[in-house]
Amino acid sequence: MLSVNGRRMQLPPKVWFQLERLKKALRSTFDFSKKDYDTSYRMCPSCRALVERGASRCPLCGEKMRSPRARSGATGSGKLLGVIPIPSTATSVIVAVNIALYAISWYMTVSLTSGFNAPSAMGGISIEALMHLGAKSPDILLAGQWWRLVTAIFLHASLMHIGFNLWCLFDLGPEVESLFSTTKFIVFFLVSGVAGFMLSLWWSPFGVSVGASGAILGLIGVLIGASFHHGHLGKEYRNQLLRWVLYILIFGLFFHGDNAAHLGGLITGVLLGYLVPEGEAESQAGQSLWNTLAALSTIVIAGSFALMALQIGHPYR
């Protein structure tokens, strides 16, 4: 209900469900005391209302619903140590890849420095290890190693660096997957991350950088772009997200982060969130297109890692 000049007005069902969905997204993103990603509902392709996941028809418009696709394991309600939400599907895969590459880079740091030193003991990663594993380096990129625009997304320079990024990814990944779909999430993550490093390449032609921050800012940008389609409540949600952006940019300034990559990912994400419709594609052709784009994105990521592995023992200079 809304109050207008002292009178109460009943909202149309479609608008009501959109408002409820955004309220839920806002609470789940910024309420750190209780984080729970409910995937028991899905969006009607006709009226965009939230409908029980197993329903065969939308109770509001009567549109026939396609059979829901299985989600990996659950509703996302599992908690690690009773506190951290365990994400599902693409988010969990990306988290696992980041952790695995961090472990490899730490091992290489210890090996290259012939044992423990103060930085590696605290989780710091050497420049040499990051360069061997595919950090963004302008000279090498311009020499033809384009795949570093991809591999650099999954590398991190310290324990604090990866910890902060994975914390953000744990929160934002399931939100974007739930609001748009897993296939769109995969494309958004890769495109935003690469776009961020491309802007960084132009902005800082001599800088070496790594990290998923540009892709994560892209996910924030996607939610910001989508919020423009949801009126006043969308504006409130957008203001909350913009605070996240400010915090990350300040963090980048004080800890020598790559704010050019952050801005590149953010701008790309805003455009994607504004232009790409929410939810799963409404037609079979549209779904096939997004499935193809997600498959191509996965191939690009896997191919980039393969190219990195082929040259890992070669001098990077």
Q: Are 186 and 136 in contact (CB under 8 A)?
A: no
Q: Average the pLDDT over 246-271 and give the result.
A: 83
Q: Average the pLDDT over 118-127 and give the result.
A: 71
**Residue of 163, 101, 96, 169 lying closest to 130 (CA atoms):** 101
- How confident is the model at residue 60, as a pLDDT? 72
Cα–Cα distance for residue pair 163/47, rounded to 1 Å: 40
Q: How far is CA 309 from CA 93, 100, 151, 312, in A?
A: 19, 14, 11, 5
What is the DSSP secondary-structure string of 75-113? SS--EETTTEE---HHHHHHHHHHHHHHHHHHHHHHHHT
In the three-class reduction of DSSP (H, G, I as helix; E, B as strand; rest coil), residue 136 is classed as strand
**Which pLDDT band holds residue 126 (cuts at 50, 70, 90)?**
confident
For residue range 136-186, what is the model confidence (pLDDT) as tens digits? 887 776 677 888 999 999 999 888 889 989 988 988 898 899 889 999 999
User: Going by C-beta distance under 8 Å and a sequence separation of 6 or more, which residues neighbour residue 19?
Assistant: 11, 230, 233
- The residue that leads in pLDDT, 190 or 39, is 190
Q: Average the pLDDT over 240-253 and give the result.
A: 79
**Which pLDDT band holds residue 204 (cuts at 50, 70, 90)?**
confident
- How confident is the model at residue 1, as a pLDDT? 38
For residue range 78-121, what is the model confidence (pLDDT) as tens digits? 444 444 444 558 899 999 999 999 999 998 888 877 655 555 55
For residue range 26-46, what is the model confidence (pLDDT) as tens digits? 555 444 444 443 445 566 666
CA 25, 26, 30, 35 torsion-angle sign: negative
- The residue that leads in pLDDT, 290 or 245, is 290
Q: Average the pLDDT over 248-259 and give the result.
A: 74
213-227 and 13-30 helices cross at what angle (nearest 10)? 150
Tokens of 239: 């203001």
- What is the model's pTM? 0.72
Cα–Cα distance for residue pair 289/286, rounded to 1 Å: 5
Q: How far is CA 203 from CA 138, 149, 262, in A?
A: 11, 14, 12
How many percent of the chain have pLDDT more than 90? Answer: 30
User: Going by C-beta distance under 8 Å and a sequence separation of 6 or more, which residues neighbour residue 158?
Assistant: 122, 123, 124, 125
Beta pairing class for 84-85 and 79-80: antiparallel
Domains annotated for the chain, with CATH where assigned, are 91-311 (1.20.1540.10)
Catalytic positions? 213, 262
Q: Taking 50 as the threshold, does the pLDDT of residue 208 lie above it?
A: yes
- How confident is the model at residue 251, as a pLDDT? 73
Tokens of 277: 């419709």
- How confident is the model at residue 20, as a pLDDT? 58
